[in-house]
Amino acid sequence: MATTVQPTPAVGAPLSRLEGREKVTGQARYATEQPIEGVAHVAIVQAPVARGRVVSVDDRAALALPGVLAVVWHANAPRLAEVDDHELALFQGDRVAYLGQMVAAVVAETPEIAHDAAERLDVRIEQESHDARLRADHPNLYAPETVNAGFATDSVIGDVDAGLAQAQSTIDVTYTTPALHNNAMEPHASLAMWDASGLTIYDSNQGAATARRTVAEVFELEPDQVRVISHHVGGGFGSKGTPRPNIILAALAARLVGRPARVAVRRQQMFHLTGYRTPTIQRLRLGADAGGRLTAIVHEAAVQTSQLREFVEQVVTPTRTMYAAPNRRTTHRVVALNVPTPSWMRAPGECPGMYGLESAMDELADAVGIDPIELRVRNEPPADPESGAPWSSRNLVGCLREGARRFGWDARDPQPRSRREGRWLVGLGVAASTYPAYRSPAQASVRREGDGRFLVRIAAADIGTGARTVLAQIAADALGVAVDRVRMEIGDSALPRAGVAGGSMGTASWGTAVVRACERLLETGGEEAHADTTDEVKAQQARARHGFGAQFVEAWVDAVTGEVRVQRMLGVFAVGRIINAKTARSQFIGGMTMGIGMALMEESVMDERFGDFVNHDLADYHVPVCADVRSIDAIWLDERDDDLNPMGSKGIGEIGIVGSAAAVANAVRHATGIRVRDLPIRLDKLIG
């Protein structure tokens, strides 16, 4: 009798991306690369002032150019339905809320003609005084009802004044971070076309179903009259998590000229139109007893939003989770300025907030006189410090201990400036990281295709993370077949509904739906099965679900010039079961690399006189390159958290950046004795 040989489990294997060959050979088509004939091209016209009123647009010179099809502005634009995001209300009024806001657009036969015509428009604007400066004492700071992701604005437990008064050691410090821009490799782009059945848009986004819903609302269509397709996306980092003005402009232009229309946001325009991480001002007050145990934590943040839409980054929420202290207060305050609307950027809230908290913990360790790792271990909470909920799993201490062993932390002399290699001062720094383990409802289907093959369909988004590969691995194990027996269809709103690739919840959400659909197919023995996890997600147990990690940095600082080099970096993570060892390592290292950029070079500089980001291209907005990333590695502890999803996994896309900037800053301080509290750490802050 023949023996059935079970395939080697796919989950956990370092499988290369299934679409890798398509991408490296140029066969993968992105949003505006579709082979569609008769496409018109759209040029965006932006406001040159930060506040005012558009009085008129003289389009005669533009329309006189051969090949110009239309000029649109608020006086002749079709009416759109009002939605919560007023950034999408293109040309629906005469008000200018920030410099760079769309005030007109030109549609033409070629992009060259469109941009030429845009330069010839005479846009008259009555300029008004503006305010583009975030400051801690701004008179218009206010407490929002909630902050991003629905978190409470403030939280208070115990008596922080008493806790600080009884402390043996205290610190009271303020940290600032600048505005940061996502700068995905593929700019935001859309290609729209109308026909008798409705609207089809090829768009670069992090969630086709989410984009479809919003577009349908704006144009007052039924959802099934809109189809959004995004098979391949060249990065997003949060900036493509919600629809941006380009997708509305493409659809509007296509309707105006009666043919497909293409919008590609230029790199310089991305600094105004596609979101960014708000600058932050963070005041932290920590108190500890003689043994280093926290008696009080106070973390207060001020951020900015635009006049068009309120977006409040949840900066202090990780402080509610990280360390035990009987007395705690966290607050958010926001001011609406004449600036573009901030939005999601990789690990919103956790990234800037943990820079503040983990820098403060390092300063407290110095004040108390104990090792920075030991301080964190002594303040490990047995349950969630604010809710009291038990952890689904938490192994931060394991990450700190294993990282210290591998990085050679025991050889570290705690005295700053204690190690020198020629003209280089050498320091070691550490910081902890965390990110919530989320899951959202999703649907999936699986169908037998014959010859032992299966088709799995879900409107998931692969933004370069390897999502379609990971989902194929999950499906293969759920079906008991090899990965090459599974074919994935993703990135299309016509497929079973799925949430965005964001919040580090894509794999957990989509993977659960895929597993349930596969289980149902095997149970019924039918040809096709569907699953919807809405009820399952609603019935989650009341546990605190988070991933944890620790980053270790060896920084070299030139004693003469102040140049900083991250010579070594190690991340150790406890994030449940790893689905794909290769893509997981890539995600961790990618996040840590962005953390290096945040610490040392990334900064969107606001000229408050004009309300404009002055360095709005990659020549002046610097990001890490290969020479900046020397020896960097990421490992993970063996962990499986079955409380979260059937795979036992946690999200990994964002935790790598969390804590990384603080680890660099802490290493620089150890090397030089200089504590830089306002990022980035430039040369001028270390010399003189």
Residues marked active site are found at 654
Q: What are phi and psi of 65, to 5 degrees?
A: -75, 130
Q: For the CA atoms of the chain, what is the radius of gyration?
A: 26
DSSP-derived pairing of the beta strands 294-306 and 328-337: parallel
Alpha-carbon distance 456 to 360, whole Å? Answer: 47
Q: Tell me how far apart the alpha carbons of residues 362 and 364 are, in angstroms, rounded to a whole number.
A: 5
Give SS3 for 255: helix
**Nearest alpha carbon to residue 502 among 435, 577, 561, 582:** 435
Strand partners, 631: 568
Which of 435, 493, 485 shows the shortest CA–CA distance to 456?
485
**How many helices (H) and strands (E) are present in the chain, helices listed first?**
16, 28
Torsion of CA 134, 139, 143, 144, to 10 degrees: -60
At a CB cut-off of 8 Å and minimum separation 6, what does 411 contact? none
Buried b (16+ CB within 10 A) or exposed e, 653-663: bbbbbbbbbbb
The enclosing H or E element of 425 equals strand 424-436
Whole-angstrom Cα distance, residue 68 to residue 66?
Answer: 6
- Give the Cα separation of 286 and 295 in Å (integer): 8
Checking DSSP bridges between strand 40-46 and strand 261-264, what pairing results, if any? parallel
Q: How many CB atoms lie within 10 A of CB 237?
A: 27
**H or E stretch including 607?**
strand 606-607
Number of neighbouring beta carbons within 10 Å of residue 447: 17
The conformation of residue 485, written as its DSSP 8-state character, comes to G
Q: Whole-angstrom distance between the N-terminal and C-terminal Cα of the chain?
A: 82
Closest residue by Cα to residue 508 from 392, 636, 650 = 650
Q: List strand residue ranges (DSSP E) for 259-372, in order.
A: 261-264, 280-288, 294-306, 328-337
